[in-house]
Structure 1
């Protein structure tokens, strides 16, 4: 049995290396309405008013966390553009149509 120990250890090391070499894929998380409210820290009524805008599966209603986060970022960017344009208009300047927020 003592002669087998180095061989077994070498096999274990090869297996460890092979396992580490396998690409780790992150499973995409899907949640229901209640879980999404908890994740975002919003009320059910807030979600109910925006559910048609937020990317989701319809039956049963499920949300992909990464898609919701992307939607939030896009909407924050649009809201920021609108706020800047409103500020420019208030100051009496004509907004530039090629105006970009990056």
Structure 2
């Protein structure tokens, strides 16, 4: 399967079962999660590590940071803004970088 091929709803649910804290956006077009850290420095460190991982995957999140929170929305623009295997791969990397 190509990284730019949209996943089926069943494939998305299977992936979400392995990604604690992640959910499908209300519009069904992105994987979403909010990470919380001890403070701003920890949140920023997480984002820095994720930036390196995202670059390695040639995939870049839509995200925002407010103090100790990092909100993430993952979908693949090359697939018309749908969820693909590339999104799942980045979510898995982010999950690991967050410590679980």
TM-score interval for Structure 1 and Structure 2 normalised by the shorter chain: 0.3 to 0.5
Q: Report the structure number with the largest CA radius of gyration.
A: 1
| Higher RCO structure (Cα 8 Å, ≥6 apart) | 2
Q: Where is the strand percentage greater, Structure 1 or Structure 2?
A: 2
TM-score normalized by the length of structure 2: 0.33
